[in-house]
Structure 1
Amino acid sequence: MVLGSVLVLLSAGALVIGHTAQRRIEGSVHTADLFGRQPELTTDRSGKAGITGPLNILLVGIDPRPENPEEAPRGDSVLILHVPRELDRAYLFSLPRDLLLDIPAWERAQFTGSRYDKLTHAMMYGSRREGAPADVASGFGLLARTVSDYTGIRSFDAGAVINFAGFQKVVEELGGVDMYIDQRVESIHLTPDGEPRYRIPGDPPRRVYEPGQRHLSASEALDYVRQRYIEGGDYSRQRHQQQFIRAMVSQATSRSVLTSPGKLDAVVGAAGDALTFDGRGSSILDFALALRGIGQDRMTLIRLPGHNIGTGGGYQGEELEPVAKEFFAAVAADEVDAFLTHHLELVNR
């Protein structure tokens, strides 16, 4: 999902070894107005000499249905990449897809707003167009406004959206990814043979991911990071996605990729083909070059604790603990380093 966008942003600087690779990145990434030209959110960088920090980049993963283009997608994964002023490190944190908050009105989709709704629905409400294909860019704009209102992060410097199919293609080109699985996970989607469980009557057996260092194929990786009906629920899923992002960035910048022009070109192309990016006046290559010093060892994964509201049939959604609002204030002020010295429990390992 959003993993491909992080791959391009944090890996492409290292991957760019010549003009051919540069043209491949620029040519394969789709661009769009993802922020809806909202004056109070716009941070137009056109005409500036380069990218300067601090930066906040909004990353959203969706699962569109090609067979039904009019069906509005939901924001299945929502992550924010915060890069301090020095541009030499990054902090990655997630928001629960079912986070309960207020979704503001959005004229572009003739949406009048919704109180105490799920974050995942913001993309859907903003994308709807009567009798026409869903407008994903408009949906992203409403989701960005919703996240901004909730977190107090007034402006995002860039945004990206990627779909499930794009994610799987990136991992295929990498040849799979090695990562440490930190808990036993049973898949609700696949059998041990990789067959979709919904196609088999009854309660077919489930694919199981056991703890330990593992090599995940593309289909296994996609399946693993989608699981949220596990111990820890969506908070465990967020942690697993973040861990996989770090593992994928590490593999994409490994010697086996960098020294193989064919593989390098295929990886960058796969990420770009499924990626839509808005750099507010700067290209994705500009951002990639600005962030080229941030490897997987310079990326800190953040865990924002929360709890569910209601259970079973009475489940309403998720609510974050008060420490999350303190963290958001630190992000807005570019004071995350100092904040985390007193809140080491928020760092994912």
Structure 2
Amino acid sequence: MTEKKRFRGRAVKAVGIAFGCVLVLGGAGAGWVYWHLDHNIRSVDINSALGDDRPARADRAAASPSPSASASASAAQEAVRKGVLNILVLGSDSRSGKENEKLGGGDSGGARSDTAMVVHLNADRSRATVVSIPRDTLVERPSCPTQDGGVTAPAYNAMFNSAYAVGGPVCAVKTVEQLTGVRMDHYLEIDFAGFAKLVDALGGVDVTTDQDIDDDLSHLHLDAGDHHLDGEQALAFARTRHGVGDGSDLGRIELQQQLVKSLLDEAAGSGLLTDPTRLYQVADAATGSLTADTGLDSLSELSGLARSLGGLSADDVKTVTMPVVRAPSDANRVVADEPEASELWESLR
């Protein structure tokens, strides 16, 4: 194994250890820290909302305990450690709260899913595939249940990210499952302000761009080359699209995929495990920005999943984008490129 491969493996493992180490920070303080971090995580019950009218699970061993099960914490951790898992990860363009508004979320009460990735983990956690779905993809948006007991209207040729806007996480999951035919075993969401705080807690992140970026909308102005970004700049880097590639969401996705790997590098090389204060700051920022489904909405479940990924290196993680072509009805939108898109999703079942 090369030194680069070992380093990348430690990067992923550090994420899991960061959650687990809060249990040993000492005495009553550790109890309060665990309680605080555990209660940071917001929860959404995807399974109850969607019921059984969903694609089959890729691997029954990956199923999380049902809400009525009296499983122990250790059993809950075991459920997310084993078996094939598909996790929908969204970055939400939240428009509520002063912090999100300052970071570009706007001044209205809605939200959009600006970033969408399906993370596929194989059964023994030796490989992972991260598939990005362009937000500009035109899809058939299904009717979705709402919190007040109603349903949203179905829509045709709707932008993919509109599902979150009209029906929140539940509709986002249902739309992804209809688009892909793949069951989403879990759901994770991170918001604008939380992402910026996480990057700042890690001490910033290193990125490289091969062209100048001059985007007034995302407030990002970078010369081509290497840069160390703080949280606000990293968020702009993840959001920028104008002046990158052809100005579409595809160029932005490439930047987002680079940012994910750079964050793992930063977590490994920042000395977190020898600095309890910074370790807590990172864990607080990470959990404080998360919304998770009921199978991943506790610190024990998240740490169990993260530790199961400790053997992965960057060479084991494949990042791809769902194959798309320009939409015949709108040159500014895309549609799934068939049969390539279906073949990709079939490989994740």
Asked whether the two chains share a fold, i.e. TM above 0.5, the reply is yes
1:253-299 alpha-carbon deviations (Å, 9 max, x no partner): 22522221111110111011011111537722232222233344432
Shift of 1:237: 0.5
Gaps of 5+ in 1: 1-7, 127-138, 191-195, 197-206, 333-349
Partner residue of 2:88? 58
Partner residue of 2:6? none
Q: Is the 8 A contact 1:310 1:316 kept in 2?
A: no
Among 300, 304, 307, the alignment partner of 2:325 is 307
Report SS of the residue matched to 2:111: coil
1:215-234 alpha-carbon deviations (Å, 9 max, x no partner): 11222111111111232321
In the superposition, relative to structure 1, how do residues 10 and 256 fare at CA in structure 2: closer, same or farther (>3 Å)?
closer
Gaps of 5+ in 2: 1-10, 26-32, 58-62, 98-105
Q: Is the 8 A contact 1:174 1:251 kept in 2?
A: yes
The one-letter code sitting in structure 2 at the alignment partner of 1:159 is Y
The one-letter code sitting in structure 2 at the alignment partner of 1:299 is V
Report SS of the residue matched to 1:44: coil
Partner residue of 1:204? none
Matched pairs, number: 295
Partner residue of 1:272? 287
In the superposition, relative to structure 1, how do residues 74 and 236 fare at CA in structure 2: closer, same or farther (>3 Å)?
same
Partner residue of 1:181? 209
Partner residue of 1:77? 115
| Aligned residue runs from structure 1 range 316-331, under 5 A | 317-322=333-338, 323-331=340-348
Partner residue of 1:217? 230
Report SS of the residue matched to 1:293: coil
CA distance in 2, matches of 1:10, 1:94: 23
Partner residue of 1:26? 38
The one-letter code sitting in structure 1 at the alignment partner of 2:192 is F
Shift of 1:316: 5.4
**2:185 aligned with 1:157:** yes
Return structure 1 stretches of 4+ with deviation > 4 angstroms. Answer: 8-11, 67-70
In the superposition, relative to structure 1, how do residues 242 and 181 fare at CA in structure 2: closer, same or farther (>3 Å)?
same
In the superposition, relative to structure 1, how do residues 302 and 236 fare at CA in structure 2: closer, same or farther (>3 Å)?
same
| Aligned residue runs from structure 1 range 197-236, under 5 A | 207-229=220-242, 230-232=244-246, 233-236=248-251
Q: Is the 8 A contact 1:34 1:278 kept in 2?
A: yes
Q: Is the 8 A contact 2:89 2:116 kept in 1?
A: yes
In the superposition, relative to structure 1, how do residues 123 and 9 fare at CA in structure 2: closer, same or farther (>3 Å)?
farther
Partner residue of 1:116? 157
**2:52 aligned with 1:14:** no
Q: TM-score, normalised by structure 2?
A: 0.76
Greater share of helix: 2
Report SS of the residue matched to 2:348: helix
1:31-54 alpha-carbon deviations (Å, 9 max, x no partner): 221442422448433545443121
Q: Which shifted more, 224-233 or 316-325? A: 316-325
Partner residue of 1:166? 194
In the superposition, relative to structure 1, how do residues 70 and 11 fare at CA in structure 2: closer, same or farther (>3 Å)?
farther
CA RMSD of aligned residues (A): 2.7
Q: TM-score, normalised by structure 1?
A: 0.76
1:173-211 alpha-carbon deviations (Å, 9 max, x no partner): 111101222433222236xxxxx6xxxxxxxxxx53233
In the superposition, relative to structure 1, how do residues 159 and 53 fare at CA in structure 2: closer, same or farther (>3 Å)?
same
CA distance in 1, matches of 2:108, 2:196: 23
